[in-house]
Amino acid sequence: MWRQRCLWRCRRSIRLIETSRVFSSAKSSKSIPRRPRVGRQGKDQMPRPPRNLPQGYSFHITLRCNSRQFLIAKGLRWDVLLAVLAKAQAKVPHRLYAVCLMANHLHLLLRPDDATQLSRLMHWVGWYSAMALNRLAGRCGHFWEARYYATAIAPKDHRRVLNTLRYIHANPKATGVRKAFYDPYSNYGHYGRLEADGISEWHPSFLTLASTLKECSKRYERFCQRYRQHAKGAPKCHWGSRMLRRLVETSRSSSSKSKRIAPGQTQLPFAFDYRLNQIPDDWHQIAVRFRRANGIRDGDRERCMWLL
């Protein structure tokens, strides 16, 4: 009995060896189709859609904080963003026409000298600002959303350029932060008062409104006063949203107000205080010049509260 088993095992091993030899010879003579690669570096993976980057166009940029959190709702963090925008002009040559910094996002209207360098410019702005703001806030992780939004605007489409300028400058008023268009972290004062803020410049479409700068400023001011905000649709109530809202409210009420530290989180050896000027002096001077040129003054037609 045991002899039959040994013979059966020997025959089986011989068959396996012959099969492997035939398979190796067929593999060397004819390539066997491989399974398509799956992953981030796979060739068969669907890539991101290419951006429309025509030369000479202006781009309306929107950059939003991660999970739409209010991560830049403090004056010192806005000052850091202004300094980063000023430094970006030396990294990638471009012209900045409009700026508006909000609590959880920012709007820019710019025109790079080389449109193909827009991704490089926004990559540097996002990386450098995230590094500085994370260090300032004592946090880690992603600061901005996955990608920035960019809309190309033709240089001869003056109407659309002016509408985009007005939309960017009307953000503080539309959200209820201001009662008028003047804001220390928006360059509307650069267009309304015709004062240099050190970062932005006038768009060529703005200069086509009249023959003189004062007339251009007056016409643009009247154009902005006619702005009416379009009401947004009510948010849809998906299943479980009410229950989730109740759970969040109960967890907030039950949890203590003291700042909790996640296990393994690295803390800075000192605590930042936004009331102190704990940014470099040159950054502070850039922000002060911008705020003085665009901030609210006593002689303005409509005075409103400052939220510094």
Residue-wise pLDDT for 43-70, tens only, equals 555 567 778 889 999 999 999 999 888 9
Show Cβ contacts of residue 129 under 8 Å, excluding neighbours closer than 6 positions: 80, 81, 84, 143, 144
Half-sphere exposure of 28 (CA within 13 A, CB side): 5
CB neighbours of residue 65 within 10 Å? 21
CB-CB contact of 132 with 147 (8 Å): no
Tokens of 66: 């991660």
pLDDT recorded at residue 24: 59
Q: 105 forms bridges with which residues in the sheet?
A: 64
Integer Cα distance of 176 and 133 in angstroms = 25
103-138: per-residue pLDDT in tens? 999 999 999 999 999 999 999 999 999 999 998 888
pLDDT over 70 (residue 193): yes
pLDDT recorded at residue 297: 78
- DSSP class of residue 98 equals E
Integer Cα distance of 272 and 79 in angstroms = 15
Q: Which CATH class is domain 58-229+278-294?
A: alpha beta
Q: Is the pTM of this model over 0.95?
A: no
pLDDT recorded at residue 46: 59
- DSSP class of residue 268 equals P
Domain boundaries, the chain: 58-229+278-294
Tokens of 196: 């240099």
Average pLDDT, the chain: 80
